[in-house]
Structure 1
Amino acid sequence: MLEAAKLQKIKQEPHIWSSVIRSLRAPLKENDIDADQLMAEVGISKHDVDLTNGEIPLKGWMNFMEKAAVNAGNPLLGVDLARTAGPETLGAVGFLFLSSPTIHEAFLNMCHYMNLLQGVTNAHLVIDDYETAWVYQIMHVDELKCIQDVEFSLTLTKRMIKIFAEDKIDVLSVNFRHSPQMDRREYEKRIKVPVHFNQEVNSVVIPTQHLNMTGKILDSSLAPILKAYLDEEQASFNKIKTLSDQVRYVLYGQRIPLPITAKKVARHVGLSEASLYRKLKSEGVRFSDLLEERNFGLAKEYLSTSDMTVTQVAHIIGFADSSSFCRAFTRWSGGITPSEFPKSENSGL
């Protein structure tokens, strides 16, 4: 169970399991990066990293990865690190993925426990008759740059899929919301599947017909043991989740058809619309503020990391037209228009 101090720490800011950095120390050294020195530079405690069940601030992890890529002179460092990473990087969640009976269950397990592994992160499946997409979304946290994390996470997921069934599952594509940091061919040379940029979501796509593919690496009898452990952690984590936390998770999960309304969100969290408003008010939060927080956060991410036009961004977020989006963005930003925003990104907005 999570002790009181740990619960309070989670309340203050989102965290990520320290196993992620711990597993990367050796490969980072091969890239001439002193992980411990870099951790100190970005404010990550070596003591927290060395704890078996330790956690580190998500902001610290994001900054660590971005700075590591700069120091290594390698814009694709996240991709390269993930190419040799294994389940230990994801701790119990990684081993549960590989011990799940089918790849479908592996995905569902990863989606269910992702927010426990890495705070303010949403993962879910989108399934149709032909393709299944595992969608990865970091919910907006001010001032976080997350390109290296996203490229690391999606490349690692692709690798985990291949490990799961000894390369017998086809990965159709890996898709990023941001624009490429190098020529697309460099990505495909490393990831070894088609790679697409400026997409609506970050995702890894496989054929739906492969969902029942069974695992080849770990005994599936391990799965219930790992789930019991993770369920205990999840239960403790859920005790401190506010309704506003739950609403944010739904808003960023992109599971609700546009336009997003309070009624749709209330139904998703199992409340009436009136109860949603009342409970949020008791937390000192308004639904309209959460929705604007979501829209502004996504807009800034799309505008600063992708090559999408203002009209495309407006459509993806849920605005009927670009003019209403521009008026809203200018209000949120204190006078900066969407077309001006990428130029002002480094000014601290």
Structure 2
Amino acid sequence: MTTEVRPLPHLLSVRAIILRPIFDMFDGNSGTLRKLLARHGLDSRVLEDDYAPVPLQTYLGFFEDAAVSLDDPNLGLRLGASVRPGGFGPMGLRATQCATIYRGLESLVRFTSALQSGTQVTLEEEAEHVILRYMITASQVGPSRQDNEFTLAGMCSLIRKGYDLRWRPLEVHFSHPPPDAPGRVERWFDAPVLFSQATNMLVIDPKDAHRVYREEDPDMLDLIDRHLASMLERAGEGQSASEQVRALIALYLGAKPITLETIAPVMQTSRRSLQRRLAEEGTTLKELLRSYRQERAEILLTQMGVSVEAVASTLGYADGTSFWRAFKSWTGRSPSKARRSSASAGDE
């Protein structure tokens, strides 16, 4: 197996290690697996090199197609439920060396870009809850149900296997529409699960998050950190201000206000500095928000089972009427007409 570790390219991508559990599902049926790889333009060498970069859109399409090929619509959930800390690579092992669940999740957030770009993960402590948010922020990447369920279930598995087998979140949110059998998802998380939400997230009890489970070994953490440092792209490196803002819009839209006052602190800059940087790039926060809402709306309106009211809520509108007016001003069409046009095109 190749051991050389190379930084991820600026092309949106994931490490092949993320696909390893999917590959293992085809054990004994390598012919089907290789055909699936070829269909998605993947070189079979990714089977041998865990650190090889795979385009993000290719990964998502491959995951969805694998679920169909294996006749398992709950593939992502099932793989996430069985993942062990090592399934997240060295960052998973590091997370389970931490004293508390909160510090372990902080570690995952810190090193996410070592394994996957084009995504945003945040951990925030709010009034009564700890919130872990996960969202693919790149636009036009296609369906992501399998990745969403795999990621959140995998994070729960990491907490259970690394800290407490009886642990469960207070609530789980998914951005994709409900599956045919949502009860199975809820039974596995052992918590209420909401679909068609603004973002993917785990709601965690602060008492659970800050309970001390072990004494940390600083030498062990330092050893893992040195390895991860060779893989990690610094947050925001090579990205423009508008790209960083767009990623945060995708993460927070529908969950908290999108304003310069809320976005600037996350980027560790001031309101005026951020406004100036965006102006230098020929855009504004308002324009980035409008552009993202339009792109996201057109994607959501193609998904069966997602009402116009749900789309409006996901995009941060107070009601369906406000969204209807905005969409009409962007496209000259009503949301319902856009949905019918998309359905007609799909039937051709």
TM-score, normalised by the number of residues in structure 2: 0.83
When structure 1 is superposed on structure 2, of 207-216 and 241-250 the one drifting more is 207-216
Matched, 1:330 2:328: yes
Work out which of the residue numbers 216, 225, 235 in structure 1 matches 2:223. Answer: 225
Letter in 2 for 1:204: L
- Structure-1 residue corresponding to 2:76: 78
Return the alpha-carbon distance in structure 2 between the equivalents of residues 141 and 25 of structure 1. Answer: 26
Task: String of CA shifts for 1:163-217, please: whole Å, max 9, x gaps.
Answer: 1114143333332232222222222344444433233432223321111234579
For residue 122 of structure 1, give the secondary structure of its aligned residue in structure 2. strand
Q: Tell whether 2:155 aligns with 1:173.
A: no
189-198 or 139-148, which deviates more: 189-198
Provide Cα deviations, 1:296-336, integer angstroms capped at 9, x if missing partner: 2443455445745434432442335533422332344x444
Q: How many aligned positions are there?
A: 342
- Partner in structure 1 of residue 205 of structure 2: 207
Instruction: Give 1:65 deviation, angstroms.
Output: 0.8
Q: Distance in 2 between matches of 1:162 and 1:17?
A: 24
**1:208-245: per-residue Cα shift (whole Å, max 9, x none)?**
11112345799674323223333453355743222222
Q: What are the Cα deviations for residues 265-298 of structure 1, in whole angstroms up to 9, with x where unaligned?
A: 3454344555434433444554443222322244
Could you tell me which runs of 5 or more consecutive residues in structure 1 were left unpaired when the two chains were aligned: none
TM-score, structure 1 normalization: 0.83
Pick closer, same or farther for the CA change 1:196–1:28 going to 2, 3 Å: farther
Residue of structure 2 equivalent to 1:99? 97
Q: Sequence identity of aligned pairs in percent?
A: 25
The one-letter amino acid of 1:53's match is Y
Contact 2:128-2:206 within 8 A present in 1 as well: yes
1:122 and 1:136 in contact (8 A); partners too: yes
CA contact (8 A) 1:124 1:134 kept: yes
- Alpha-carbon distance, 1:150 to partner: 0.5
Matched residue SS, 2:62: helix
**Alignment match, 2:336:** 339
Query: 1:217 & 1:30 partners in 2: Cα distance?
Result: 42
Is it true that 1:127 corresponds to 2:121 in the alignment?
Answer: no
- Counterpart secondary structure, 1:234: coil
| Alignment partner, residue 46 of structure 1 | 44
Asked if 2 retains the 8 angstrom alpha-carbon contact of 1:139 and 1:249, the reply is yes
Q: Which residue of 1 aligns with 2:62?
A: 64
Provide closer, same or farther for how the CA distance between residues 115 and 299 of structure 1 changes in structure 2, counting only shifts above 3 A. farther
Q: Which residue of 2 aligns with 1:314?
A: 312
What corresponds to 2:136 in structure 1? Answer: 138
Worse overlay, 334-343 or 151-160: 334-343
- SS of 2:226 mapped into structure 1: helix
In the alignment, structure 2 segments of 5+ residues that lack a partner are none
Q: Which amino acid aligns with 2:335?
A: P
Q: Distance in 1 between matches of 2:41 and 2:164?
A: 39
